[in-house]
Amino acid sequence: MTPNTPIFPQGASTYSTEVDILFYVYLGLAAFFTVAIFGLVTVFAVKYRRKKATDVGVEPQGHATVIEVTWTVLPLILMLGAAIWGLKIYVQQLTPPPNAKEYYVVGKQWMWKIEHPDGRREINELHVPKGEDIKLKMTSEDVIHSFFIPAFRIKVDAVPGRYNTMWFNAAKTGTYHLFCAEYCGVDHARMIGRVVVMEPHEYQEWLSGTKVRAATATGEELFVAKACNTCHRPDSSARAPILNGIFGKEVALLGGKTIVADDEYIRESILNPGAKVVSGYQPIMPTFKGQLSEEEIIQLIKYVRSLSPGADKGVPKTASLAFSSSAEAHP
C-alpha cells in the first residue's frame, strides 16, 4: 500500500509535534511581520501622501529614538528566540540517546541500502519497531543524497566519505514515505522508498522471517580475506595496533595528538592509513581505497567494534591457518 502525499505530512515521530509547533511559530512570525510592514507601508503612503505640489516633508520630532529602538530590538529578540529554539531541536535530532539501535544507511545512485543491527538488509525499505530509539548512520557510495522521512520530520544528507548520524523514535505504526531530498542524477526522483513502523513484537517476527542472504561478506570474513589479521594480531610479532577493545577508546598518534577510534577514524585508517598513524607503529599499512565498497567498510567497522578487549578473543581462528606461512615468514 502506497501512502498518499498530503500537503502537510502527518506526524509520526516523537519530535514531529515540536517541529510542527516551531514551523507554525516561524510561519506566524513571518506572517505577522509581512502584514505589519506592508500594511504600514500602505497606510503611511495614503496618510502622508503629498497633497499639494508645495508640500515639503518634515523631520519627525520627539519619540523617534524610542520607536526605532523598539522596532529593532523586539524583532531581534523574537527572531533570536526562534533561532535558538530551532537549534535546540536540530542538536537534539543529531544527538542520539546512548542506547539507540544502530542502523546503517548507504545511499547510491539510485537506491537506499539499509542494514539492521542484526545484519539484516533491505533496499528502499526500512522496517523499524515503534517506540524505540533508532539511530541511523549514513554515508554514500557516490554523490550526496539526502535521507528524508517527512512524517518523522527528519532529513539528513548522506555524504560520500563521512558518516552522518541522526535518530528518531517512531510514535505511530504505519507506512511512511522515504525520499531522497538532494538532486543526485537522472533517477533522483525515483530514489524513493517506504518506512514501515511495526509493533515491537511484529518487528521481531519480521526479523526472524525470511533471511535475506547477505551479498557482502561479514566483517570477520573480510578481515581475513584482506589479510588484516596478518598484521593486526594479538601477539608479539604484531606490526600493527591490536584492535581488540579499541573501538570508542582514545588512541595516541604519532606526533603527540590523540583521537577517538570511532567509525570515522577506522574508515579513514582503512582508506588512508598514513593519515593518522598510531604512536609506536610504522606507517606501513597499504591503502584499501578502491578495494572495498562502503558496505564492506561498514562490515569491517562493525567487526572492529565487536572485538572484545580480551587479548585473543574475537580474532578469527582461520587467521593463522589461512595466512600462517606469510605471517611466520616475517615475524
Q: Across the chain, which distance is largest between two alpha carbons, in Å?
A: 104
- The count of chain residues that interact with ligand CUA, using the rule CB under 6 A, is 9
115 binds ligand CUA (CB under 6 A): no
Min dist. Cβ of residue 102 to ligand CUA (A): 22
- The single residue among 19, 136, 154, 191 that binds ligand CUA, judged by CB under 6 A, is 191
182 binds ligand CUA (CB under 6 A): yes
First to last CA, the chain: 61
What count of other Cβ atoms lies within 10 Å of the Cβ of residue 220? Answer: 20
- The single residue among 105, 114, 138, 184 that binds ligand CUA, judged by CB under 6 A, is 184
User: Under a CB-based contact definition with an 8 Å cutoff, are residues 156 and 138 in contact?
Assistant: yes
Report d(CA 140, CA 27) in Å as an integer. 34
Nearest residue (CB) to ligand CUA, 177 versus 188: 188
116 binds ligand CUA (CB under 6 A): no
Q: Cis peptide before 112, with omega less than 30 degrees from 0?
A: no
Nearest residue (CB) to ligand CUA, 110 versus 265: 110
- The single residue among 127, 135, 177, 188 that binds ligand CUA, judged by CB under 6 A, is 188
- The single residue among 113, 127, 135, 145 that binds ligand CUA, judged by CB under 6 A, is 145
180 binds ligand CUA (CB under 6 A): yes
177 binds ligand CUA (CB under 6 A): no
Report d(CA 131, CA 204) in Å as an integer. 14
User: Under a CB-based contact definition with an 8 Å cutoff, are residues 179 and 113 in contact?
Assistant: no
Nearest residue (CB) to ligand CUA, 125 versus 199: 125
User: Under a CB-based contact definition with an 8 Å cutoff, are residues 3 and 194 in contact?
Assistant: yes
Report d(CA 74, CA 79) in Å as an integer. 9
Extract the C-alpha cell encoding 47: 496618510
Residue given cell 527528519 in the structure block: 154
Binding segment toward ligand CUA, per CB under 6 A, in 26-34, 167-175, 184-192, 286-294? 184-192
Binding segment toward ligand CUA, per CB under 6 A, in 31-39, 51-59, 182-190, 267-275? 182-190
The sign one gets for the Cα dihedral 266, 268, 271, 276 is: negative
User: Under a CB-based contact definition with an 8 Å cutoff, are residues 144 and 157 in contact?
Assistant: yes
Min dist. Cβ of residue 158 to ligand CUA (A): 8
Min dist. Cβ of residue 126 to ligand CUA (A): 15
Nearest residue (CB) to ligand CUA, 22 versus 192: 192
Q: Cis peptide before 206, with omega less than 30 degrees from 0?
A: no
Nearest residue (CB) to ligand CUA, 80 versus 123: 123
Q: Which of 280, 257, 277 is nearest to 268 (CA)?
A: 277
Binding segment toward ligand CUA, per CB under 6 A, in 36-44, 179-187, 259-267, 323-331? 179-187
- Residue 65 burial class via C-beta count within 10 angstroms: exposed 0-12, middle 13-18, buried 19 and up: exposed
Min dist. Cβ of residue 143 to ligand CUA (A): 7
Min dist. Cβ of residue 176 to ligand CUA (A): 18
The sign one gets for the Cα dihedral 66, 67, 68, 72 is: positive
Min dist. Cβ of residue 180 to ligand CUA (A): 3
Site residues (vs ligand CUA, CB under 6 A): 107, 110, 145, 180, 182-184, 188, 191
